[in-house]
A and B are shown apart, each in its own frame.
Chain A
Amino acid sequence: MCGIAGVIHRGQAVGVGQEMTAMLQSLKHRGPDSTGFAVYGVTKPDEYVMRLKLAEAEDFDTDYNIRDKIRDRQALVDNRLAELGAQTLEVEQPTPYAFRYRLKFSGDTKQLATDLEHIEGGEVLSFGHALELIKDLGDATVVSQQYGLGRFQGTHGIGHTRMATESDVDIRSAHPYWAYPYNDISVVHNGQITNYWIMRREMERLGHRFMSNCDSELLAVYTANNLEQGATLEDSLKSSIKDIDGVFTYIVATDKELGMAKDTMAAKPMVLYESDDIVALASEEVAIRAIVPREIDTSDPYDEEVRVWQR
């Protein structure tokens, strides 16, 4: 089933971390397996924020030496960053396996992400000037507390509560997905993609990497591929309705924009609230009510509808 949500404030940074937590907590019944957030802070053009994980949560149950291994892996990360000329400004470790790096870097970010993912257990969850991507097992409140999301200030964000149907319950199959190797682009999805393997092979032939077997990752890679070829976000959303088979509603966020697309069958829900200062969208109205308690007018986008909003 899965629940997705997004919010964008026009022209101001607010407590978007707290808002997304409230929205996703009210969608918990749509998916209790894992929760993920992609929130966008104030863009700092000369700095990068990188979120990466060096193990799965389940490794702690199966591997006695995992803590030592993570320590070694982190040393490797630091080495490779230094080799590539990245200057580490700050490192945080909100959970034993998840890291947040603040960097100064002027080289090829794709090279950097690829090098770090060669480290065993390493996956770059996000990379960008504004994007912070957090995902873990548990409901919204648990994940938000673990990663201190309540304090996060930003302009927009998207999130996902997952009911695992197509792949495993682990962090690598949790949403949102970062559109590797594009800075600041993330995707959340509710639905099933039926031409996943055909599209995946097509994308792999073009040189894109897949980290999981989750069908939603395809949308992130697909978006990245379109943007690489010079398409706008709106073009990419529109073409996805023709290229991707199945039932889906998904939200894409960039550092400046938030967009959504709905499939030809309108099989997956989406409720939309638009005003001059805020746009909120979610699988169910109850999530919008969690952040806009006053009486409001909401609507359902129709099939094949594509919308994009600027912050």
Chain B
Amino acid sequence: MATLTKAAPTEQERKSHEMGMHTEQLTGRTQQVFFDIDLNEAHHGFGLPDTFDVDFNKRGEIDASNMDAKQVNARIREMMRKGYGTIVLKNPAAKHSMAVGILNRLNLIIEGSLGYFGCGLVDGPNIRINGRVGWSCGENMMSGTILIEKNAGSQFGAALRGGDLVCKGDVGSRTGIDMKGGNIIVGGDTGSFSGFMMQRGRMVICGNAGKNLGDSMYDGTIFLGGEPRSLGVDAVWSDITDLDKEWLEKKLKKYDVMPKGGIDSFRKIVAGKQLWNYDNLEPTEKKLVL
């Protein structure tokens, strides 16, 4: 039976504890929040300020042809405040930073293309884009789905944290860079350095990938239907399981994408974890301790 008591610290550990290297000192305003049941959620900052209860059957339209991104985003927020749950955005004309910061459920249909940072920082909406998206689409998305019918630019789903981000066409380089959760699904090819430093989550690429796929990935899984130009540092092939296939089949069916060779053509790439050195002391710290 495994013992629950921690073994006595080594001399090295004891020294580093004494020198305060293992305790994090918070400075400035404290990050600690003490919960008081008598006070409401707003007091604690638990609730999000711009979330709205919307009705999916209430449908509205926005014509973005003579509006800038700020006006479009303000208009979306105003409509959500009025309870519109289905919004159609027309003539977006590849402008930047549109449909960002939506923090509640919403059906958003974008008829056209978006520029940079489209649908960034969202938490909950279902977004369908009939055109193409530029760089950094769905950056930092927390939850919800974004479905793009055409191609996408680089940094697709950078720092993604949750939800499904789907592109039916080809995407640019550095797809899913630094992603921390969620699923990125690509119907076509991706560029180089896809999955660079990814930490968690799944990336599904039906086509081919550029060079250095999964470079320096910490964790997470990449499923590849085609061929990579090369694997990145510390990315290794792994065995695909029946559970993986089941999950892939379910997800891809939902979004109507599939590699040419079907589910069986998928291969799995994971982190080799040879670069993991979290417990090691920094060289300067080592010098102090030893």
A residues neighboring B (CB under 8 Å):
265-266, 269, 271, 284-286, 288-289, 293, 295, 297-300, 302-303
Contacts and interface: CB of A to CB of B under 8 A. Distances in A.
A297 to B, nearest CB: 6
Contacts, number: 70
Main SS class of interface, B: loop
A279 B150 CA distance: 18
Given A266-B173, A289-B94, A300 B115 contact: no
Nearest to A299: B151
Interface of B: 93-96, 112-113, 115-116, 130-132, 134-135, 150-151, 153-154, 169-174, 191-193, 210-211
Given A286-B94, A286-B96, A289-B93, A302 B135 contact: no
Nearest to B116: A284
B113 A300 contact: no
Contacts of A302: 172-173, 191-192, 210
B150 A286 contact: no
A295 B131 contact: yes
Contacts of B174: 266
Nearest to B131: A295
A265 B151 CA distance: 19
Contacts of A288: 94
B172 A300 contact: yes
A269 B154 CA distance: 8
A299 B131 CA distance: 11
B188 to A, nearest CB: 10
A269 to B, nearest CB: 6
Contacts of A265: 173, 192-193
Nearest to B112: A295
A266 B191 contact: yes
Nearest to A305: B191
A269 B93 CA distance: 18
Contacts of B130: 295
B115 A285 contact: yes
26 contacts: A265-B173, A266-B173, A266-B191, A266-B192, A269-B135, A269-B153, A284-B94, A284-B96, A284-B115, A285-B132, A293-B93, A295-B130, A297-B132, A297-B150, A297-B151, A298-B150, A298-B151, A299-B169, A300-B153, A300-B170, A300-B191, A302-B173, A302-B192, A302-B210, A303-B173, A303-B192
